Amino acid sequence: MATVPSTSRQAFLANLRESGLVGDEQFAALEARLPETERGRLVARALVKDGVLTKFQAEQLLAGRTSGFVLGQYRVLDEIGKGGMGRVFKAVHVTMNRTVALKVLAPQLVETEKAQVLFQREMRAAARLMHPHIVTAYDANQIGNRYYLVLEYVDGPSLDRLVREQGPLPAGLACEFIRQAAEGLQYAHEMGMVHRDIKPSNLLVLLPGGEPRRRRCTVKILDFGLARLQGSENDAQEVATIVTRPNMVMGTPDFVAPEQARNLHAVDIRADLYSLGCTLYFLLTGEVPFPDGGTLEKLIRHTTEEPVPIDKLRGDVPPAVIALVRKLMAKDPALRYQTPAELATALESYAAEVDGWTAPAMASGFTSEFPQEEPAEGAPSSAEALVTPLPASEPNFVFHASPTEDTGALINTILPDGTATLVSGAHLPGAVKNPAAQADRRRITLAIAIAVAIVGLLVGLISLL
């Protein structure tokens, strides 16, 4: 449980007044009914209990944060995700009282005019997608130097979290989740779009409950921000939303298609189908297809190796479903299902809402515990790593990206000058490693790299003759 520095009643209320979370009249009314105590934590607890503040807001105020709670018409309620490209918050539209997910880009990603144009193109592409199995993009805007995207809020876990907390899914339910995702991808395909980063963490599950008519789980595809409109060579410059160097890769190494690892610009919807096959493999086994090694090793194995057969890891998956996964993960795109609609039809016989399966009692990973006060003034606080005091000149929504935040590495992101990042060496935690096998693969990788270098040198020498 997080701890925060001890805060007095006076300091906490001063932070609350400055934050803009309550108006002057509301503040006066609140102050009159607060408990008689000089401990700011107890005052904060009372406001959370009364529904005036969220636990996230209270934690930030106790830690001394007075800015970053309001962006335009949106009041921030909680932080639900973060990464190198920015942070995602649960927020509410003040006027419409609609709960949304607010994705705020890290400032360094949109510092240049070129990067800003990329952002605008990506958002126009995402705005075209309106489908029950795709997270809806409501708005994209800029306030000062902050660029943000307003998305449909899905109060449910990702498939990645669901499997990691619940274990492999019943085969029928796993097929149903992938069938729904295929329906969303078919719609995007018909709109001329490819996702390019399909993975369990980009598939959210809206669990049963809440709305009276919502009696089944609903899968929604998240983050078409990496999508690139597909067009002819003549209009490629106009519709492209991603600029990468020819030798760079975009995607997540545990789920990326072989052809995407070779050439991002040459892929079509069948690359998403390969990634969907890797995702189904994960839902059925609880493991990624190639758990060992770093990024380069994983990319090579997707191209040259077959994963451990599903029936070696689990004995109750129907052979027809295993064959379906193998077809999805064929190295040659021509041997896969050719459209998501074709896949969805193939899954209908095996997809099912499973009787007796209980949806887990989990939300989207929000703070569930109220922060504990430190036992003594001045003692080290874990909250200091969460909330860094801001200089007076610092704008709202300052990002503190960590290289260990993501379970899958996004191999390529857009830097301020529009170029690509270096290939990440991240891999999924908890993978079972075989040192001897890893050493063999490293030797193979080195041999391949040397061979490629020699061939390139020979080609260069021949061209000079």
Q: Compute the 3-state secondary structure of the chain and give helix, strand, coil in percent, each to the nearest 5.
A: 40, 15, 45
| Antiparallel, parallel or unpaired: β 146-152 and 137-143 | antiparallel
Q: Kindly compute the dihedral angle of the four CA atoms of residues 321, 327, 328, 334, in this order, to the nearest 10 degrees.
A: -160
Nearest to 30 by CA among 95, 21, 38, 39: 21
Q: How far apart are CA 357 and CA 320, in angstroms?
A: 22
Q: How far apart are CA 6 and CA 217, in angstroms?
A: 43
Nearest to 134 by CA among 214, 84, 208, 195: 195
Non-local CB neighbours of 430 within 8 Å, separated by 6+ positions: none
Options 24, 50, 160, 197, the catalytic residue? 197
Q: Please compute Rg for the chain using Cα positions.
A: 24
DSSP 422: P
223 given a catalytic annotation: no
The phi, psi pair for 167, rounded to 5°, reads 90, 180
Structural contact between residues 248 and 149, judged by C-beta atoms closer than 8 angstroms: no
The whole-angstrom distance between residue 243's C-alpha and the CA centroid of its chain comes to 21
- Residues designated catalytic: 197
